[in-house]
Protein backbone atom coordinates (compact mmCIF):
# COMPACT_ATOMS: atom_id res chain seq x y z
CA UNK A 1 0.00 0.00 0.00
CA UNK A 2 1.43 3.41 -0.93
CA UNK A 3 1.58 6.40 1.39
CA UNK A 4 -1.38 8.20 -0.21
CA UNK A 5 -3.63 5.19 0.27
CA UNK A 6 -2.42 4.90 3.84
CA UNK A 7 -3.15 8.59 4.47
CA UNK A 8 -6.70 8.06 3.19
CA UNK A 9 -7.09 5.05 5.43
CA UNK A 10 -5.90 7.13 8.38
CA UNK A 11 -8.50 9.82 7.64
CA UNK A 12 -11.21 7.20 7.25
CA UNK A 13 -10.40 5.71 10.65
CA UNK A 14 -9.69 8.87 12.65
CA UNK A 15 -11.78 11.44 10.71
CA UNK A 16 -8.76 13.78 10.57
CA UNK A 17 -5.59 13.82 8.49
CA UNK A 18 -2.28 12.44 9.79
CA UNK A 19 0.29 15.02 10.93
CA UNK A 20 3.42 12.91 10.69
CA UNK A 21 4.91 9.82 9.11
CA UNK A 22 7.71 7.64 10.49
CA UNK A 23 9.29 4.80 8.52
CA UNK A 24 11.74 2.17 9.70
CA UNK A 25 13.04 -0.86 7.79
CA UNK A 26 13.43 -4.55 8.45
CA UNK A 27 16.93 -5.96 8.24
CA UNK A 28 19.07 -8.92 7.35
CA UNK A 29 22.19 -9.75 9.30
CA UNK A 30 25.07 -10.58 6.96
CA UNK A 31 27.38 -11.82 9.70
CA UNK A 32 27.87 -11.49 13.47
CA UNK A 33 25.21 -13.67 15.05
CA UNK A 34 24.43 -13.38 18.80
CA UNK A 35 27.50 -11.18 19.20
CA UNK A 36 25.38 -8.08 19.86
CA UNK A 37 24.42 -8.92 23.42
CA UNK A 38 28.02 -9.92 24.07
CA UNK A 39 28.90 -6.33 23.09
CA UNK A 40 30.86 -7.46 20.04
CA UNK A 41 30.57 -6.78 16.30
CA UNK A 42 27.70 -7.31 13.87
CA UNK A 43 27.21 -6.45 10.20
CA UNK A 44 23.54 -6.17 9.22
CA UNK A 45 21.96 -4.29 6.31
CA UNK A 46 18.63 -2.44 6.34
CA UNK A 47 16.17 -3.60 3.66
CA UNK A 48 13.64 -1.83 1.47
CA UNK A 49 10.87 -3.65 3.34
CA UNK A 50 9.67 -1.17 5.94
CA UNK A 51 7.05 -0.31 8.53
CA UNK A 52 5.19 2.99 8.22
CA UNK A 53 3.54 4.75 11.14
CA UNK A 54 1.13 7.63 10.48
CA UNK A 55 0.12 9.67 13.50
CA UNK A 56 -1.77 12.65 14.82
CA UNK A 57 -1.81 14.19 18.26
CA UNK A 58 -5.04 13.98 20.27
CA UNK A 59 -6.48 16.39 22.83
CA UNK A 60 -6.68 13.73 25.54
CA UNK A 61 -4.13 11.26 26.96
CA UNK A 62 -5.25 8.22 24.94
CA UNK A 63 -3.14 6.39 22.39
CA UNK A 64 -5.35 4.68 19.80
CA UNK A 65 -3.63 2.23 17.46
CA UNK A 66 -4.71 0.46 14.27
CA UNK A 67 -2.60 -1.75 12.05
CA UNK A 68 -3.32 -2.23 8.37
CA UNK A 69 -1.80 -5.70 8.83
CA UNK A 70 -4.42 -6.66 11.44
CA UNK A 71 -7.69 -5.52 9.86
CA UNK A 72 -10.61 -5.03 12.21
CA UNK A 73 -8.41 -4.91 15.30
CA UNK A 74 -7.27 -1.97 17.41
CA UNK A 75 -5.73 -1.20 20.76
CA UNK A 76 -5.92 1.83 23.02
CA UNK A 77 -4.37 2.85 26.31
CA UNK A 78 -3.69 5.94 28.43
CA UNK A 79 -0.34 7.68 28.78
CA UNK A 80 0.80 9.79 31.74
CA UNK A 81 0.01 6.82 33.96
CA UNK A 82 1.45 3.31 34.27
CA UNK A 83 1.15 1.36 31.00
CA UNK A 84 0.61 -2.37 31.36
CA UNK A 85 0.25 -5.15 28.79
CA UNK A 86 -3.17 -5.49 27.18
CA UNK A 87 -5.07 -8.12 25.21
CA UNK A 88 -3.66 -7.28 21.78
CA UNK A 89 -0.48 -9.24 21.04
CA UNK A 90 0.73 -6.69 18.49
CA UNK A 91 -0.69 -3.73 20.42
CA UNK A 92 1.66 -4.66 23.24
CA UNK A 93 4.64 -3.65 21.10
CA UNK A 94 3.21 -0.13 20.92
CA UNK A 95 2.40 -0.15 24.63
CA UNK A 96 5.94 -1.37 25.32
CA UNK A 97 7.42 1.51 23.32
CA UNK A 98 5.30 4.11 25.14
CA UNK A 99 5.98 2.52 28.54
CA UNK A 100 9.73 2.51 27.90
CA UNK A 101 9.76 6.14 26.79
CA UNK A 102 7.82 7.11 29.92
CA UNK A 103 10.08 5.07 32.20
CA UNK A 104 12.98 6.99 30.67
CA UNK A 105 11.35 10.30 31.61
CA UNK A 106 9.77 11.13 28.25
CA UNK A 107 6.46 13.00 28.59
CA UNK A 108 3.84 11.71 26.17
CA UNK A 109 0.39 12.91 25.15
CA UNK A 110 -2.45 11.23 23.29
CA UNK A 111 -1.83 10.01 19.73
CA UNK A 112 -3.82 8.37 16.95
CA UNK A 113 -1.62 5.83 15.15
CA UNK A 114 -2.01 3.77 11.99
CA UNK A 115 0.66 1.17 11.24
CA UNK A 116 1.29 -0.55 7.90
CA UNK A 117 4.21 -2.74 6.94
CA UNK A 118 5.56 -4.87 4.14
CA UNK A 119 8.17 -6.45 6.41
CA UNK A 120 7.18 -10.14 6.55
CA UNK A 121 6.42 -10.99 10.17
CA UNK A 122 8.24 -13.80 11.95
CA UNK A 123 10.40 -14.39 8.87
CA UNK A 124 13.65 -13.36 10.51
CA UNK A 125 13.66 -9.86 8.98
CA UNK A 126 12.88 -8.24 12.33
CA UNK A 127 9.47 -6.74 11.79
CA UNK A 128 9.37 -6.22 15.57
CA UNK A 129 12.38 -3.88 15.52
CA UNK A 130 10.97 -2.04 12.50
CA UNK A 131 7.76 -1.53 14.49
CA UNK A 132 9.55 -0.38 17.65
CA UNK A 133 11.84 2.04 15.83
CA UNK A 134 9.06 3.54 13.72
CA UNK A 135 6.75 3.94 16.76
CA UNK A 136 9.44 5.50 18.97
CA UNK A 137 10.52 7.66 16.00
CA UNK A 138 6.91 8.86 15.81
CA UNK A 139 6.68 9.52 19.57
CA UNK A 140 10.01 11.37 19.44
CA UNK A 141 8.80 13.63 16.66
CA UNK A 142 5.26 14.16 17.93
CA UNK A 143 6.33 15.11 21.45
CA UNK A 144 9.69 16.79 20.72
CA UNK A 145 11.71 14.36 22.84
CA UNK A 146 15.03 15.14 21.12
CA UNK A 147 16.28 11.56 20.88
CA UNK A 148 19.31 10.54 18.81
CA UNK A 149 19.01 7.49 16.54
CA UNK A 150 21.08 5.49 19.02
CA UNK A 151 18.69 6.48 21.82
CA UNK A 152 15.65 5.45 19.75
CA UNK A 153 17.28 2.07 19.11
CA UNK A 154 18.16 1.58 22.77
CA UNK A 155 14.61 2.39 23.88
CA UNK A 156 13.22 -0.01 21.26
CA UNK A 157 15.50 -2.75 22.56
CA UNK A 158 14.33 -2.06 26.14
CA UNK A 159 10.71 -2.32 25.02
CA UNK A 160 11.42 -5.73 23.49
CA UNK A 161 13.52 -6.88 26.51
CA UNK A 162 11.48 -5.55 29.39
CA UNK A 163 7.94 -5.38 28.04
CA UNK A 164 7.87 -8.23 25.50
CA UNK A 165 10.26 -10.50 27.44
CA UNK A 166 12.71 -11.24 24.63
CA UNK A 167 16.36 -10.68 25.62
CA UNK A 168 17.48 -9.49 22.17
CA UNK A 169 20.59 -7.38 21.73
CA UNK A 170 20.81 -3.94 20.13
CA UNK A 171 21.47 -5.01 16.52
CA UNK A 172 17.96 -5.09 15.07
CA UNK A 173 16.85 -1.73 16.42
CA UNK A 174 20.16 -0.02 15.65
CA UNK A 175 20.27 -1.08 12.00
CA UNK A 176 16.60 -0.17 11.61
CA UNK A 177 17.35 3.30 13.00
CA UNK A 178 20.69 3.93 11.27
CA UNK A 179 20.73 1.84 8.07
CA UNK A 180 21.92 3.36 4.79
CA UNK A 181 20.74 2.31 1.34
CA UNK A 182 23.43 0.49 -0.63
CA UNK A 183 25.37 -0.31 2.52
CA UNK A 184 25.69 -2.71 5.39
CA UNK A 185 26.72 -1.30 8.75
CA UNK A 186 29.63 -2.61 10.75
CA UNK A 187 28.41 -1.97 14.30
CA UNK A 188 30.44 -2.05 17.48
CA UNK A 189 27.74 -3.06 19.95
CA UNK A 190 29.68 -1.71 22.93
CA UNK A 191 30.20 1.86 21.72
CA UNK A 192 27.25 1.76 19.27
CA UNK A 193 29.61 3.29 16.71
CA UNK A 194 28.87 2.20 13.17
CA UNK A 195 30.66 2.35 9.84
CA UNK A 196 28.93 2.00 6.49
CA UNK A 197 30.30 -0.80 4.32
CA UNK A 198 29.31 -0.62 0.64
CA UNK A 199 27.35 -3.65 -0.58
CA UNK A 200 28.91 -5.43 -3.56
CA UNK A 201 27.25 -4.61 -6.88
CA UNK A 202 28.27 -7.93 -8.43
CA UNK A 203 26.20 -10.04 -6.02
CA UNK A 204 22.48 -10.44 -5.42
CA UNK A 205 21.19 -10.55 -1.84
CA UNK A 206 18.68 -13.37 -1.42
CA UNK A 207 16.82 -14.15 1.79
CA UNK A 208 15.00 -17.44 2.15
CA UNK A 209 12.50 -17.98 4.96
CA UNK A 210 12.39 -21.62 6.03
CA UNK A 211 8.83 -21.25 7.38
CA UNK A 212 9.88 -23.76 10.01
CA UNK A 213 7.35 -23.54 12.85
CA UNK A 214 9.36 -21.94 15.63
CA UNK A 215 8.60 -23.23 19.11
CA UNK A 216 9.93 -22.22 22.54
CA UNK A 217 12.10 -19.74 20.71
CA UNK A 218 12.23 -17.11 23.44
CA UNK A 219 13.20 -19.54 26.19
CA UNK A 220 15.95 -21.15 24.08
CA UNK A 221 17.15 -17.73 22.96
CA UNK A 222 17.25 -16.43 26.52
CA UNK A 223 19.07 -19.60 27.65
CA UNK A 224 21.85 -18.95 25.11
CA UNK A 225 22.23 -15.46 26.46
CA UNK A 226 22.51 -16.79 29.99
CA UNK A 227 25.16 -19.34 28.92
CA UNK A 228 27.19 -16.47 27.46
CA UNK A 229 26.88 -14.44 30.65
CA UNK A 230 27.99 -17.24 32.96
CA UNK A 231 30.84 -18.14 30.57
CA UNK A 232 32.03 -14.52 30.69
CA UNK A 233 31.90 -14.53 34.49
CA UNK A 234 33.98 -17.70 34.66
CA UNK A 235 36.48 -16.27 32.18
CA UNK A 236 36.77 -13.15 34.35
CA UNK A 237 35.66 -10.74 31.64
CA UNK A 238 32.78 -8.29 31.60
CA UNK A 239 31.43 -9.76 28.36
CA UNK A 240 32.66 -12.30 25.81
CA UNK A 241 33.75 -9.39 23.62
CA UNK A 242 36.81 -9.23 25.86
CA UNK A 243 37.64 -12.95 25.78
CA UNK A 244 40.06 -14.67 23.39
CA UNK A 245 40.58 -18.29 22.37
CA UNK A 246 43.73 -18.70 24.51
CA UNK A 247 41.86 -17.66 27.68
CA UNK A 248 38.97 -19.91 26.73
CA UNK A 249 41.23 -22.95 26.35
CA UNK A 250 42.94 -22.25 29.68
CA UNK A 251 39.60 -22.02 31.48
CA UNK A 252 37.99 -24.93 29.63
CA UNK A 253 37.74 -27.19 32.71
CA UNK A 254 35.83 -24.62 34.74
CA UNK A 255 33.17 -24.16 32.06
CA UNK A 256 30.24 -26.43 31.33
CA UNK A 257 30.25 -28.02 27.86
CA UNK A 258 27.52 -25.58 26.76
CA UNK A 259 29.29 -22.52 28.15
CA UNK A 260 32.48 -23.52 26.35
CA UNK A 261 30.72 -23.98 23.00
CA UNK A 262 28.71 -20.75 23.26
CA UNK A 263 31.84 -18.77 24.13
CA UNK A 264 33.77 -20.43 21.31
CA UNK A 265 31.13 -19.28 18.84
CA UNK A 266 31.09 -15.69 20.10
CA UNK A 267 34.88 -15.31 20.11
CA UNK A 268 35.33 -16.75 16.61
CA UNK A 269 32.26 -14.93 15.23
CA UNK A 270 33.58 -11.52 16.30
CA UNK A 271 36.79 -12.23 14.39
CA UNK A 272 34.78 -13.35 11.34
CA UNK A 273 32.79 -10.10 11.26
CA UNK A 274 35.94 -8.01 11.09
CA UNK A 275 37.44 -10.34 8.48
CA UNK A 276 34.32 -9.97 6.32
CA UNK A 277 34.40 -6.18 5.93
CA UNK A 278 36.97 -6.14 3.14
CA UNK A 279 35.49 -9.19 1.45
CA UNK A 280 32.06 -7.54 1.27
CA UNK A 281 33.38 -4.20 0.04
CA UNK A 282 35.25 -5.82 -2.81
CA UNK A 283 32.58 -8.43 -3.58
CA UNK A 284 35.20 -11.14 -3.05
CA UNK A 285 32.91 -14.16 -3.05
CA UNK A 286 35.67 -16.58 -2.11
CA UNK A 287 36.55 -14.69 1.06
CA UNK A 288 32.86 -14.07 1.83
CA UNK A 289 32.15 -17.76 1.43
CA UNK A 290 34.90 -18.69 3.86
CA UNK A 291 33.60 -16.53 6.69
CA UNK A 292 29.91 -17.16 6.04
CA UNK A 293 30.37 -20.92 5.84
CA UNK A 294 32.40 -21.03 9.00
CA UNK A 295 29.81 -18.80 10.71
CA UNK A 296 27.05 -21.23 9.78
CA UNK A 297 29.03 -24.22 11.04
CA UNK A 298 29.74 -22.43 14.30
CA UNK A 299 26.03 -21.65 14.73
CA UNK A 300 25.23 -25.28 13.98
CA UNK A 301 27.82 -26.96 16.20
CA UNK A 302 28.78 -24.47 18.91
CA UNK A 303 25.78 -22.21 19.38
CA UNK A 304 23.32 -24.94 18.36
CA UNK A 305 20.63 -22.66 16.96
CA UNK A 306 20.19 -24.08 13.46
CA UNK A 307 17.49 -26.65 12.67
CA UNK A 308 17.42 -29.26 9.88
CA UNK A 309 15.27 -26.89 7.81
CA UNK A 310 17.81 -24.04 7.80
CA UNK A 311 20.76 -26.43 7.48
CA UNK A 312 19.07 -28.02 4.46
CA UNK A 313 18.36 -24.66 2.79
CA UNK A 314 22.00 -23.67 3.22
CA UNK A 315 23.13 -27.00 1.73
CA UNK A 316 20.78 -26.63 -1.25
CA UNK A 317 22.05 -23.13 -2.03
CA UNK A 318 25.71 -23.95 -1.50
CA UNK A 319 25.57 -27.04 -3.67
CA UNK A 320 23.76 -25.37 -6.56
CA UNK A 321 26.05 -22.33 -6.42
CA UNK A 322 29.41 -24.02 -5.93
CA UNK A 323 32.13 -21.37 -5.69
CA UNK A 324 29.92 -18.68 -7.24
CA UNK A 325 27.91 -18.01 -4.09
CA UNK A 326 27.37 -18.79 -0.44
CA UNK A 327 24.57 -19.08 2.13
CA UNK A 328 24.27 -19.23 5.90
CA UNK A 329 21.53 -18.97 8.50
CA UNK A 330 20.75 -15.46 9.67
CA UNK A 331 18.94 -13.90 12.63
CA UNK A 332 17.74 -15.46 15.85
CA UNK A 333 17.88 -19.10 14.69
CA UNK A 334 15.63 -22.04 15.66
CA UNK A 335 14.15 -21.76 12.18
CA UNK A 336 13.77 -18.38 10.53
CA UNK A 337 15.75 -17.41 7.47
CA UNK A 338 18.99 -17.95 5.61
CA UNK A 339 20.90 -15.27 3.69
CA UNK A 340 22.56 -16.02 0.37
CA UNK A 341 24.93 -14.07 -1.88
CA UNK A 342 25.15 -15.10 -5.53
CA UNK A 343 25.66 -13.60 -8.98
CA UNK A 344 22.34 -12.06 -10.16
CA UNK A 345 22.18 -14.54 -13.05
CA UNK A 346 22.16 -17.45 -10.56
CA UNK A 347 19.10 -16.27 -8.61
CA UNK A 348 16.82 -18.31 -10.85
CA UNK A 349 18.89 -21.45 -10.24
CA UNK A 350 18.58 -20.95 -6.49
CA UNK A 351 14.82 -20.46 -6.76
CA UNK A 352 14.40 -23.63 -8.79
CA UNK A 353 16.66 -25.72 -6.56
CA UNK A 354 14.86 -24.58 -3.41
CA UNK A 355 11.40 -25.13 -4.94
CA UNK A 356 12.35 -28.63 -6.09
CA UNK A 357 14.38 -29.91 -3.16
CA UNK A 358 13.22 -28.16 0.01
CA UNK A 359 9.61 -29.46 0.18
CA UNK A 360 10.81 -32.96 -0.56
CA UNK A 361 13.57 -32.90 2.06
CA UNK A 362 11.82 -30.95 4.83
CA UNK A 363 8.09 -31.08 4.07
CA UNK A 364 7.91 -27.29 4.00
CA UNK A 365 7.66 -24.51 1.39
CA UNK A 366 10.17 -21.66 1.57
CA UNK A 367 9.60 -17.98 0.77
CA UNK A 368 12.33 -16.34 -1.29
CA UNK A 369 13.00 -12.59 -1.25
CA UNK A 370 15.49 -11.03 -3.62
CA UNK A 371 16.28 -7.94 -1.59
CA UNK A 372 17.60 -4.45 -1.99
CA UNK A 373 19.10 -2.53 0.89
CA UNK A 374 17.17 0.48 2.16
CA UNK A 375 17.44 3.51 4.42
CA UNK A 376 17.07 3.65 8.19
CA UNK A 377 14.45 5.59 10.18
CA UNK A 378 12.91 8.56 8.38
CA UNK A 379 10.39 10.89 9.99
CA UNK A 380 8.55 13.70 8.29
CA UNK A 381 5.83 16.21 9.11
CA UNK A 382 2.78 16.06 6.89
CA UNK A 383 0.38 18.84 6.01
CA UNK A 384 -1.51 19.65 9.19
CA UNK A 385 1.51 19.26 11.48
CA UNK A 386 1.19 21.85 14.23
CA UNK A 387 4.55 21.56 15.96
CA UNK A 388 5.56 20.15 19.32
CA UNK A 389 3.78 20.73 22.59
CA UNK A 390 0.43 19.53 23.81
CA UNK A 391 -2.86 19.56 21.98
P1 LIG B 1 10.22 -10.83 13.54
O2 LIG B 1 10.73 -9.65 14.32
O3 LIG B 1 11.28 -11.82 13.23
O4 LIG B 1 9.44 -10.45 12.32
P5 LIG B 1 8.78 -11.22 15.97
O6 LIG B 1 7.98 -12.36 16.51
O7 LIG B 1 9.92 -10.74 16.77
O8 LIG B 1 9.20 -11.61 14.49
O9 LIG B 1 7.82 -9.97 15.77
C10 LIG B 1 6.60 -10.11 15.07
C11 LIG B 1 5.50 -9.44 15.84
O12 LIG B 1 5.67 -8.00 15.74
C13 LIG B 1 4.13 -9.69 15.29
O14 LIG B 1 3.58 -10.89 15.85
C15 LIG B 1 3.36 -8.46 15.74
O16 LIG B 1 2.97 -8.59 17.08
C17 LIG B 1 4.41 -7.37 15.68
N18 LIG B 1 4.33 -6.65 14.39
C19 LIG B 1 5.26 -6.60 13.41
N20 LIG B 1 4.84 -5.85 12.36
C21 LIG B 1 3.61 -5.41 12.69
C22 LIG B 1 2.63 -4.59 12.03
N23 LIG B 1 2.83 -4.10 10.80
N24 LIG B 1 1.47 -4.33 12.68
C25 LIG B 1 1.27 -4.82 13.92
N26 LIG B 1 2.14 -5.59 14.57
C27 LIG B 1 3.29 -5.90 13.99
MG1 LIG C 1 11.65 -9.76 16.23
CATH number of 200-371: 3.30.70.890
3-state class (DSSP) for residue 44: strand
Which of 69, 90, 331 maximizes ligand 1 atoms within 8 Å of its Cβ, making it the mutation to test the pocket?
Answer: 90
- How many percent of the chain have pLDDT more than 90? 91
123 Cα to the center of ligand 1, angstroms: 9
Nearest to 391 by CA among 138, 113, 137, 110: 110
State yes or no: pLDDT of 159 exceeds 80: yes
Looking at the CA of 156, name the nearest ligand: 2
Q: Which ligand 1 atom is the nearest neighbour of the CA of 129?
A: 2
Looking at the CA of 95, name the nearest ligand: 1
Looking at the CA of 51, name the nearest ligand: 1
Q: How far apart are CA 11 and CA 19, in angstroms?
A: 11
Looking at the CA of 127, name the nearest ligand: 1
Dump pLDDT digits (tens) for 76-129. 999 999 999 999 999 999 999 999 999 999 999 999 999 999 999 988 899 999
Q: Which ligand 1 atom is the nearest neighbour of the CA of 119?
A: 20
Q: Which ligand 1 atom is the nearest neighbour of the CA of 92?
A: 16
Among protein residues, the one with the nearest Cα to ligand 1's atom 20 is 127
State yes or no: pLDDT of 250 exceeds 60: yes
Q: How far apart are CA 136 and CA 103, in angstroms?
A: 13
Dump pLDDT digits (tens) for 276-304. 999 999 899 999 999 999 999 999 999 99
Mean pLDDT within 204-223: 88
Looking at every residue in the chain, the average pLDDT score rounds to 95
Longest dimension (CA), the chain: 67
Binding-site residues, ligand 1, Cβ < 6 A: 51, 67, 69-70, 89-90, 93, 115, 117, 121-128, 131
Which of 52, 85, 93 maximizes ligand 1 atoms within 8 Å of its Cβ, making it the mutation to test the pocket?
Answer: 93
Confidence at residue 387, expressed as pLDDT on a 0 to 100 scale: 62
16 Cα to the center of ligand 2, angstroms: 32
157 Cα to the center of ligand 2, angstroms: 10
- For the chain, the structural domain boundaries read 3-197+374-381, 200-371
120 Cα to the center of ligand 1, angstroms: 8
Whether residue 37 contacts residue 168, with contact meaning beta carbons closer than 8 Å, is answered with yes
Q: Which ligand 1 atom is the nearest neighbour of the CA of 67?
A: 24
Please spell the DSSP secondary structure of 101-145, one letter per residue. HHHTT-----EEEEEEE-SPTTSSS-HHHHHHHHHHHHHHHHTT-
Among protein residues, the one with the nearest Cα to ligand 1's atom 6 is 122
CATH number of 3-197+374-381: 3.30.230.10
At 36, is the pLDDT very low, low, confident or very high (cuts 50, 70, 90)? very high
226 Cα to the center of ligand 1, angstroms: 24
Rounded (10°) CA dihedral 364, 128, 43, 290? -10
Return the beta strands (E) in 199-336 as ranges. 204-209, 326-330
Mean pLDDT within 194-205: 95
Which of 44, 127, 172 maximizes ligand 1 atoms within 8 Å of its Cβ, making it the mutation to test the pocket?
Answer: 127
Q: How far apart are CA 297 and CA 329, in angstroms?
A: 10
Q: What's the length of the chain?
A: 391
Pick the catalytic residue from 172, 302, 311, 346. 172
Dump pLDDT digits (tens) for 366-391. 999 999 999 999 999 998 666 654 43
State yes or no: pLDDT of 53 exceeds 90: yes
Active site residue 162: no
109 Cα to the center of ligand 1, angstroms: 24
Confidence at residue 373, expressed as pLDDT on a 0 to 100 scale: 97
Dump pLDDT digits (tens) for 299-354. 999 999 999 999 999 999 999 999 999 999 999 899 999 999 999 999 999 999 99
Amino acid sequence: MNTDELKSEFERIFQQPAQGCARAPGRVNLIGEFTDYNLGYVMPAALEFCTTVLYRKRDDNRVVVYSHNYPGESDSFSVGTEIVAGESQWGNYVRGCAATVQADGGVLGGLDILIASDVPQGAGLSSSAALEVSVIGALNHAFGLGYSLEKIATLGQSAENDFMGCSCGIMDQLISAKGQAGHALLIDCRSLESNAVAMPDNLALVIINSNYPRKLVDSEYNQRRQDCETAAQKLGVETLRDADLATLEQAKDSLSADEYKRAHHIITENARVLATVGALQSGDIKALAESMTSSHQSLQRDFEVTVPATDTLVEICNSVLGERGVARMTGGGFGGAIVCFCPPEDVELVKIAVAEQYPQKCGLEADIYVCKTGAGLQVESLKGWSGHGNG
